[in-house]
């Protein structure tokens, strides 16, 4: 546990993540290795970047990478599922095998939007790999063909996932136990996570 009053605790260690990413890589290699053209891994910025980098190496086959960035739906928009593409793919995906790489599926609204938007571009296939899945929070059912871990309804940071832009480079995945406290002081976990020499603890 880190942070005074146990604000956060390790939910999934870096070693467990690495092991599971290797397994996912093997599963994905089975699916894509004999395809005519290399699959296109589409990373959803920014949360999926660490996962994508590790997964890409774990898959180990010829593959292309592209990125999308979307605005998360604002509090004022509520849970309408209205998201906006801030950065689109550089390449076309018509006729391609596309693998959407997501950090986490929560309500499912973002993924539903992304699958629809990419599906309209005529890919040969469209699948999703999500590192984390908060099944209990789902509002809209959406296919997640490959998942790393199912997790409970807790807010998580680390391994790419952030709180107000911070903590993405924390190697373990932490559950934030006191989100209200962290919201009050977003830097609360900087000290415990990065230590006195400023390097992330491992």
**Interface residues with ligand IMP (CB under 6 A)?**
47, 102-111, 155-156, 161
Cis peptide before 46 (omega within 30 of 0): yes
- Check 97, 103, 106, 133 and give the catalytic one: 106
Element (DSSP H or E) covering residue 97: strand 97-105
Cβ at position 197, least distance to ligand IMP in Å: 26
Is 28 or 100 the residue whose CB approaches ligand IMP more closely? Answer: 100
Is 25 or 128 the residue whose CB approaches ligand IMP more closely? Answer: 128
Cβ at position 33, least distance to ligand IMP in Å: 28
Active-site residue 106, yes or no? yes
Cβ at position 141, least distance to ligand IMP in Å: 12
Is 63 or 151 the residue whose CB approaches ligand IMP more closely? Answer: 151
**What residues are annotated to the active site?**
106
């Amino acid at each position: 546990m880190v942070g005074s009053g146990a604000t956060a605790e390790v939910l999934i260690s870096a070693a467990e993540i690495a092991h599971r990413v290797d397994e996912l890589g093997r599963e994905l290699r089975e699916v894509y290795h004999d395809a005519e053209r290399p699959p296109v891994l589409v990373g959803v910025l920014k949360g999926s970047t660490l996962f994508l980098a590790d997964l890409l190496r774990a898959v180990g086959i010829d593959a292309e990478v592209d990125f999308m960035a979307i605005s998360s739906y604002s509090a004022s928009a509520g849970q309408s599922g209205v998201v906006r593409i801030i950065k689109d793919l550089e390449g076309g995906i018509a006729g391609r095998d596309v693998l959407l790489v997501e950090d986490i599926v929560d309500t499912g609204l973002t993924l539903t939007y992304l699958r629809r938007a990419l599906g309209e571009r005529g890919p040969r296939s469209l699948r999703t790999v999500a590192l984390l899945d908060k099944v209990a929070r789902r509002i809209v059912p959406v296919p997640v063909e490959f998942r790393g871990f199912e997790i409970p309804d807790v807010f998580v940071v680390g391994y790419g996932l952030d709180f107000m832009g911070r903590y993405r480079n924390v190697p373990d995945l932490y559950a934030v136990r006191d989100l209200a406290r962290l919201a009050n002081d977003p830097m609360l976990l900087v000290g415990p996570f990065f230590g006195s020499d400023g390097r992330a603890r491992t």
